[in-house]
């Protein structure tokens, strides 16, 4: 591992209002340019001030053609959908939801006892042959996510394999890696990223040196495609980030609201189904 991936782009997350007035930090969003293929969107929910008023959450909305990955660190998200599924994504839990041909769902964040909400939602694309597949959930309880620590580096593996340890999320088209990585001060970590896979790191705490560049939280980093591994180290501060990587589908995309399809016609069909009440039936 002598060729670390360089930072291609550093993105400062922007405050965005979504759902029924939920304030969040958004670093990437679906665009025709599809620069982060197979990843589409990354949102960070962080409410630390109870004076922000009642949480209104994300009332019933449709999804098609994508997967949504919700990871909570503090507080929880109550969800229910048009198919009759419901549950609570608690602290440390992950919900990997493949919307496929369609679901309508509601996502309602709830504060922890100390009043905080802290979590993330990633959207992963589906390849064209799976966009109209049956909706599917992988609900992962915090206790089933493998966590290990080595030389000051603590890793929770949600999807993918690290040092022979595999995360519980399986059978995802993008062969994704999704990990929560925490480096203590004065630590170093090298991790192989498969050739051709796109890799992003969302640094949400502390300061790290990624391929010789110092980066302070909060930033989304997109890595170049050249190189065979990721190299991160810390000096005086700790660093904690979500590392995601996956195989690009290299297909054209047409995003529209909560839908991401391959053609405008498929978006028009989706809107027709919504109007006629046949969506997610
Ligand atoms: Fe949603």
Residue 20 lies in a domain: yes
d(CA 77, CA 124): 19
Other residues' Cβ atoms within 10 Å of the Cβ of residue 276: 9
**CATH classification at residue 209:** 2.60.120.10
Q: What is the pTM of this model?
A: 0.95
Q: What is the pLDDT of residue 51?
A: 47
Ligand 1 centroid distance, CA of 58 (Å): 7
- Asked if 111 and 77 touch (Cβ cutoff 8 Å), the reply is no
DSSP 120-177: EEEEEE--GGGTTSPPEEEEE-GGGS-EEEETTEEEEEEESEETTEE-SB---TT--E
Ligand 1 centroid distance, CA of 166 (Å): 27
Residue 83 lies in a domain: yes
Ligand 1 centroid distance, CA of 18 (Å): 11
SS3 for 34-46 is CCCCCEEEEEEEE
- Asked if 178 and 246 touch (Cβ cutoff 8 Å), the reply is no
Residue 194 lies in a domain: yes
- Asked if 126 and 173 touch (Cβ cutoff 8 Å), the reply is yes
Ligand 1 centroid distance, CA of 25 (Å): 16
Quickly tell me which residue has 């991401």 as its tokens. Answer: 260
Ligand 1 centroid distance, CA of 61 (Å): 6
DSSP classification of residue 184: -
Cα four-point dihedral sign 150, 152, 156, 160:
negative
Residue 168 lies in a domain: yes
- Asked if 156 and 241 touch (Cβ cutoff 8 Å), the reply is no
* Structural tokens at position 82: 């048009």
Ligand 1 centroid distance, CA of 276 (Å): 21
pLDDT, tens only, 180-238: 999 999 999 999 998 899 999 999 999 999 999 999 999 999 999 989 999 999 999 99
Ligand 1 centroid distance, CA of 62 (Å): 7
Ligand 1 centroid distance, CA of 106 (Å): 7
Ligand 1 centroid distance, CA of 107 (Å): 6
Contacts of 191 (CB under 8 A, 6+ apart): 162, 229, 230, 232, 243
Residue 2 lies in a domain: no
Ligand 1 centroid distance, CA of 63 (Å): 7
Ligand 1 centroid distance, CA of 171 (Å): 21
- Asked if 235 and 183 touch (Cβ cutoff 8 Å), the reply is no
The segments of the chain whose pLDDT lies below 50 read 50-51
Ligand 1 centroid distance, CA of 158 (Å): 20
Q: What is the pLDDT of residue 270?
A: 97
Residue 281 lies in a domain: no
Ligand 1 centroid distance, CA of 255 (Å): 14
- Asked if 213 and 230 touch (Cβ cutoff 8 Å), the reply is no
Domain that holds residue 36: 7-276
- Number of folded domains that form the chain: 1
- Asked if 53 and 115 touch (Cβ cutoff 8 Å), the reply is no
Q: What is the pLDDT of residue 115?
A: 82
Q: What is the pLDDT of residue 7?
A: 97
Ligand 1 centroid distance, CA of 252 (Å): 22
Residue 1 lies in a domain: no
Ligand 1 centroid distance, CA of 258 (Å): 7
């Amino acid at each position: 591992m002598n060729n670390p991936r360089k930072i291609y782009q550093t993105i400062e997350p922007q405050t965005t209002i979504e759902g029924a007035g939920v304030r969040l930090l958004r670093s990437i969003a679906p665009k025709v340019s599809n620069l982060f293929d197979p990843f589409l969107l990354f949102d960070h929910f962080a409410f630390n001030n109870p004076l922000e008023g009642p949480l209104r959450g994300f009332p019933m909305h449709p999804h098609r053609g994508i997967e949504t990955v919700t990871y909570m660190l503090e507080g929880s998200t109550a969800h229910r959908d048009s198919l009759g599924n419901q549950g609570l994504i608690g602290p440390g839990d992950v919900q990997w939801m493949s919307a496929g041909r369609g679901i309508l769902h509601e996502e309602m964040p709830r504060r922890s006892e100390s009043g905080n909400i802290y979590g993330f939602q990633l959207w992963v694309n589906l390849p064209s042959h799976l966009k109209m597949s049956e909706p599917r959930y992988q609900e992962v309880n915090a206790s089933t996510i493998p966590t290990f620590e080595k030389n000051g580096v603590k890793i929770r593996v949600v999807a993918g394999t690290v040092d022979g340890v595999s995360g519980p999320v399986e059978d995802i088209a993008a062969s994704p890696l999704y990990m929560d990585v925490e480096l203590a001060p004065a630590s170093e970590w090298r991790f192989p990223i498969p050739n051709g896979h796109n890799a992003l790191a969302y640094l949400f705490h502390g300061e790290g040196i990624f391929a010789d560049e110092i980066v302070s939280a909060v930033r989304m980093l997109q890595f170049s495609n050249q190189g065979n591994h990721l190299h991160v180290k810390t000096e005086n501060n700790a660093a904690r980030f979500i590392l995601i990587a996956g195989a690009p589908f290299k297909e054209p995309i047409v995003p529209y609201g909560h839908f991401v399809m391959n053609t405008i016609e498929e978006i028009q069909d989706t809107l027709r189904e919504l109007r006629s009440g046949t969506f997610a039936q």
